[in-house]
C-alpha cells in the first residue's frame, strides 16, 4: 500500500489520542489530512484541507491574540503583532505538527509524497492549521482554544523576548514629540565579577536625570532606566 494511503479512516484513533480530541464527525479530521495534491489525483475522494486551513488560521490568530491581550496588558499593538508573528510562524507550526506526528497521516499525491512532502515545513504548518479548523467546526471555539493553549504552552513561554516592551523606543518617541531631542544613556557604575556583573545606567534629557536602572547587561539597565523615566512622565501628567 502506498505511504500516502497507509492511514485509513479506521486508524485515526491514535491521532485523536495525540490531539486529545475525540471527533464527533471524524470525516472532518480526514479532510484536514488531505493535501491538495492528493485530491488533484483523486478528485472523487472529497475536498482537500485548504478550506479548513483557512478557517484554522483565523481561529489560531484569534486565540493567540486573545492570550497576548490578556497576558501582556502593557504591550502595545506593534509589540503584540510581533509576538503573534513569532508564535504562528511556519517554523513554530511545523515543529508542533511534527511533535503530533501529523506528517505520518498527511495524504499526499504521488509526486508530492515522492519529494518528501510529509516533511516539508509548509505542508506541516498547513495541516496543523487545517486540524485546528476541523476541531473548531466539530467541537467549537472553547475546545479549539483549549487545544491551542495546551500545545502552544512552551511557545507562549518562549515569546517573552519578542514581547518585551520596547521602553527605549517609547521614551525616545515621547521625548522627541515634546522636546525634539533624544534621551542620552550614561553608565553610572559597573560592579561584580566578570561573569556576574551588575550595570547601573541613568537616562538624561538636556542634562536632567529622568530615570535610573540596573541589570546584568547595559541593555537591560538602559531598558529599566527608560521604563522608570516613562513611569515618571506618566505620574506627572
Q: Has 57 been annotated as catalytic? A: yes
CA 113 to centroid of chain Cα atoms? 28
Q: Maximum Cα–Cα distance for the chain, whole Å?
A: 77
Selected catalytic residue, list 30, 53, 57, 222 = 57
| Paired residues of 211 in beta bridges | 203
Q: Has 166 been annotated as catalytic? A: no
Selected catalytic residue, list 129, 138, 222, 224 = 129
CA-CA distance, 228 to 167, in Å (whole number)?
A: 9
Quote the radius of gyration of the chain (alpha carbons, Å). 25
- Name the DSSP class of 200: E
CA-CA distance, 144 to 225, in Å (whole number)?
A: 41
Long-range contacts formed by 34-38: CB under 8 A, 24+ apart = 34/107, 35/106, 35/107, 35/108, 35/109, 35/112, 35/117, 35/123, 35/127, 37/108, 37/109, 37/111, 37/112, 37/117, 38/4, 38/107, 38/108, 38/109, 38/112
Q: Any idea which residues carry the catalytic annotation?
A: 57, 129
Amino acid at each position: 500500500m502506498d505511504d500516502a494511503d497507509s492511514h485509513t479512516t479506521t486508524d485515526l484513533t491514535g491521532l485523536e489520542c495525540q490531539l486529545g480530541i475525540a471527533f464527533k464527525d471524524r470525516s472532518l479530521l480526514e479532510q484536514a489530512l488531505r493535501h491538495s495534491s492528493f485530491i488533484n489525483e483523486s478528485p472523487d475522494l472529497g475536498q482537500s484541507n485548504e478550506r479548513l486551513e483557512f478557517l484554522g488560521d483565523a481561529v489560531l490568530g484569534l486565540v493567540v491574540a486573545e492570550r497576548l491581550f490578556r497576558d501582556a496588558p502593557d504591550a502595545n499593538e506593534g509589540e503584540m503583532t510581533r509576538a503573534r508573528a513569532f508564535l504562528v510562524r511556519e517554523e513554530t507550526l511545523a515543529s508542533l505538527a511534527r511533535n503530533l506526528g501529523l506528517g505520518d497521516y498527511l495524504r499526499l499525491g504521488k509526486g508530492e509524497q515522492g519529494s518528501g512532502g510529509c516533511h516539508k515545513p509548509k505542508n506541516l504548518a498547513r495541516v496543523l492549521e487545517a486540524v485546528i479548523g476541523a476541531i473548531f467546526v466539530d467541537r467549537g471555539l472553547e475546545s479549539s482554544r483549549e487545544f491551542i493553549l495546551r500545545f502552544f504552552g512552551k511557545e507562549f513561554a518562549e515569546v517573552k523576548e519578542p514581547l518585551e516592551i520596547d521602553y527605549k523606543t517609547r521614551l525616545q518617541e515621547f521625548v522627541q514629540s515634546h522636546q525634539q531631542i533624544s534621551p542620552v544613556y550614561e553608565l553610572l557604575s559597573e560592579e561584580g565579577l566578570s561573569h556576574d556583573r551588575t550595570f547601573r545606567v541613568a537616562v538624561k534629557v538636556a542634562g536632567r536625570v529622568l530615570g535610573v536602572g540596573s541589570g546584568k547587561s547595559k541593555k537591560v539597565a538602559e531598558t529599566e532606566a527608560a521604563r522608570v523615566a516613562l513611569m515618571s512622565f506618566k505620574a506627572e501628567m
